[in-house]
Copies of this chain bind each other. A is one copy, B any other.
Amino acid sequence: MIQELKESYGHLFEQALLDEIGRVGTFKEVSEGFQLMDIGQYIKSMPLLVSGAIKILRDDDEGDELLLYFLERGDTCAMTLTCCLGETKSEIRAIAETDAKLIMVPIQKMEEWTSKYKSWRDFVFKSYHGRMMEMLDTIDSIAFMKMDERLVKYLRDKAKVSGSKTIHTTHQDMAYDLHTSRVVVSRLLKTLENQGKVKLGRNMIEILDLE
């Protein structure tokens, strides 16, 4: 664990903090599709993402759902951060997008480290800022972009976090993430294929050229 910690967070945290994380943190390995957090669930520990990607979703009470953003290596869940003050429940759902490795830190340490380590404070603020920007980006997408553009952005993001030009998923699952219907996704994908931008297969989309 120390090894992984250093690789992902060594440049961010001072040695004393790295040591503390090593002492109190627990290592966790999850496979693709694992649900790390559900809406309404209480948060007892804070994840530091070491490898892989996590997708963060928003659901409403009628089963509607929407992808907010992906977390990648070096990221943490900003929602968790607020839970040191006030025993808040989670407002989001988190699913492992790929196999992932995390270090879980008990939230009791949060308050302590925030006053003790400047590097931790900076990290927390930077996380907030980053997530804030992701949220703005999401708002831009759903408010200003049409579905075809959103789909292209989605494909690009998904390719980026998986590190592959070939995406393995179904049209239905994409429809859930984009909060639209399967038919619409199939329709728009077919258009992209006719434009030579992607190649479609069963459970598979190969990105050829999304400029």
Query: In whole Å, how far is A39's beta carbon from the nearest beta carbon of chain B?
Result: 11
Q: Which residues of B contact A143 (CB under 8 A)?
A: 58, 64, 66, 142, 179
Q: Is A122 in the interface zone, CB < 8 Å from B?
A: yes
A59 to B85, CA, bound (A): 32
The answer to whether the Cβ of A48 comes within 8 Å of any Cβ in the partner chain is no
Are A60 and B122 touching (Cβ within 8 A)? no
Separation of A133 and B88 alpha carbons in the complex (Å) = 12
Q: Tell me which residues from 50 to 93 in chain A have a Cβ below 8 Å from any Cβ of chain B.
A: 58, 60, 62, 64, 66, 68, 78-79, 81-82, 84-85, 88, 91-92
- Inter-chain contact A139/B81, CB cutoff 8 Å: no
Partner of A139, one of B122, B132, B138: B138
Binary contact readout A138-174 vs B (1 if CB under 8 angstroms, 0 otherwise):
1110111000000000000000000000000000000
Question: Which residue on B lies nearest to A121, using beta carbons?
Answer: B114
What is the CA–CA distance of A121 and B118 in the complex, to the nearest angstrom?
A: 12
Quick check: is A101 within 8 A (CB to CB) of the other chain? Answer: no
Rounded to whole angstroms, the CA-CA distance of A126 and B64 in the bound complex is 28
Interface string of A104-131 (1 = CB under 8 A from B): 0000000000110010011001101101
Q: Jot down 15 A-B pairs with beta carbons below 8 A, ordered by A.
A: A58-B139, A58-B143, A60-B144, A66-B144, A78-B128, A79-B132, A82-B126, A82-B128, A85-B129, A88-B129, A114-B121, A115-B115, A131-B132, A135-B135, A144-B179
Nearest 3 CB-CB pairs, A to B? A82-B129, A135-B135, A128-B128
Could you list which residues of chain A lie within 8 angstroms of chain B, going by C-beta atoms?
Answer: 58, 60, 62, 64, 66, 68, 78-79, 81-82, 84-85, 88, 91-92, 114-115, 118, 121-122, 125-126, 128-129, 131-133, 135-136, 138-140, 142-144, 179
